[in-house]
């Protein structure tokens, strides 16, 4: 089912996005990659045979252009993976309001811009699949992750609403990773929290390909099967 599917991945330059691109390309998918780091995107496109466009998901025009690139290159779009996200977590008392705004802009608005760009295409084709990357932070709420978890749960709600509106031809899936060995900690501006998260990632984090396998599973189902949500966490994660 993956063979020849045209798939957009945002946040593709590292971590879960990169692992997903490599796995899907190995199964014959045609990839359109978006992220902010052009050098990494270009190298990943070379390795996967995909096309790419430098993409900042905070800019609606960038998502429109990424979908347009898929249509110009392949004539269709089968799957949009809204994977770009940031997590500058901190205690609320630190009042890192700029970080809160950044998370809303990337984690919520970025997903909405992707949906807005892809949905008309999927309606015209009468087929399509939207996959949104969430987090187990939205399932078990813990200190320091209030805003981050809030953004992920906002997307969970949006995704469920879209699923109910979708009708018989559009699939909607959310993936909730636990602790994964990615660059997640690099966006954390609170030094103490960054150290704490890095220690946790170093001890129990699983490989990004574990999430890539779950995404591939959801895509690979027959058209009449919609995998609503997959949670993938380390066995050792509480």
Which residue has tokens 């995909």?
A: 50
The C-alpha atoms of residue 160 and residue 140 are separated, in whole angstroms, by 19
The C-alpha atoms of residue 6 and residue 71 are separated, in whole angstroms, by 9
Across 56-65, 138-147, 181-190, least confident range: 181-190
Sketch out the chain's domains with CATH numbers. Answer: 6-230 (3.40.50.720)
Tell me, what's the pLDDT at 183?
81
* CB 179, CB 205: distance < 8 Å: yes
Rounded to two decimals, the pTM is 0.95
Q: What is the pLDDT of residues 157-170, one digit of tens each?
A: 999 999 999 999 99
Catalytic residue chosen out of the listed positions 148, 159, 177, 218: 148
Tell me, what's the pLDDT at 238?
83
The C-alpha atoms of residue 57 and residue 106 are separated, in whole angstroms, by 6
Question: Where does the pLDDT of residue 63 fall: very low under 50, low under 70, confident under 90, or very high at 90 and above?
Answer: very high
SS3 label, residue 30 = strand
- 135 pLDDT higher than 80: yes
Token pair of 181 as six digits = 């060995």
Across 108-117, 144-153, 200-209, 224-233, least confident range: 200-209
Tell me, what's the pLDDT at 195?
86
Question: Where does the pLDDT of residue 202 fall: very low under 50, low under 70, confident under 90, or very high at 90 and above?
Answer: confident
The C-alpha atoms of residue 79 and residue 132 are separated, in whole angstroms, by 11
Helix (H) or strand (E) holding 63: helix 60-74
Tell me what the mean pLDDT of segment 50-66 comes to: 98
Token pair of 74 as six digits = 């392949």
Tell me, what's the pLDDT at 215?
98
Residue 148 annotated as catalytic: yes
């Amino acid at each position: 089912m993956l063979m020849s599917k045209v798939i957009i991945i945002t946040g593709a330059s590292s971590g879960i996005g990169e692992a997903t691109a490599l796995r899907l390309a190995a199964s014959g998918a045609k990839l359109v990659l978006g992220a902010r780091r052009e050098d990494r995107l270009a190298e990943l496109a070379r390795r996967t045979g995909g096309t790419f466009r430098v993409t900042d998901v905070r800019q609606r025009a960038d998502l429109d252009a990424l979908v347009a690139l898929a249509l110009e290159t392949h004539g269709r779009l089968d799957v949009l993976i809204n994977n770009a996200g940031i997590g500058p977590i901190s205690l609320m008392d630190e009042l890192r309001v700029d970080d809160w705004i950044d998370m809303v802009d990337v984690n919520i608005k970025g997903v909405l811009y992707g949906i807005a760009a892809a949905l008309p295409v999927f309606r015209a084709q009468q087929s399509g699949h939207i996959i949104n990357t969430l987090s187990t932070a939205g399932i078990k709420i813990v200190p320091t992750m209030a805003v981050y978890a809030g953004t992920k749960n906002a997307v969970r709600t949006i995704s469920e609403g879209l699923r109910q509106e979708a009708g018989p031809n559009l699939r909607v899936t959310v993936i909730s990773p636990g602790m994964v060995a990615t660059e997640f900690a690099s966006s954390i501006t609170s030094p103490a929290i960054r150290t704490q998260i890095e220690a946790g990632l170093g001890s129990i984090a699983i490989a990004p390909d574990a999430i890539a396998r779950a995404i591939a599973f959801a895509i690979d189902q027959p058209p009449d099967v919609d995998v609503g949500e997959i949670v993938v966490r380390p066995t050792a994660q509480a």
